[in-house]
Amino acid sequence: MNELLLGAYILIWPALTLWVLVRICKGVWNDVAVAKQENRELV
């Protein structure tokens, strides 16, 4: 049982990291779209 919990703990980190990366990319993508709509630069 202990090995199962440790394995799940180790395997959940790539999934969480991927989720955070997707959320960041989605936010940047939305910012780029809004900036393009308003005819202004992102930075």
Backbone angles phi, psi at 19, to 5 degrees: -60, -45
Q: Write down the pLDDT at residue 42.
A: 81
Low-confidence residues of the chain: pLDDT under 50: none
Q: Give the pair of three-digit tokens for residue 9.
A: 């703990």
For residue 29, give its domain range. Answer: 1-43
Overall number of domains in the chain: 1
Distance, C-alpha 1 to centroid of its chain? 31
Q: Are 35 and 41 in contact (CB under 8 A)?
A: yes
Instruction: Say what the pLDDT of residue 43 is.
Output: 83
pLDDT for position 2: 86
Enter the DSSP assignment of 38.
T
Rounded distance between C-alpha atoms, residue 10 and residue 16, angstroms: 11
Q: How much is the pLDDT for 1?
A: 73
pLDDT, position 13 = 92
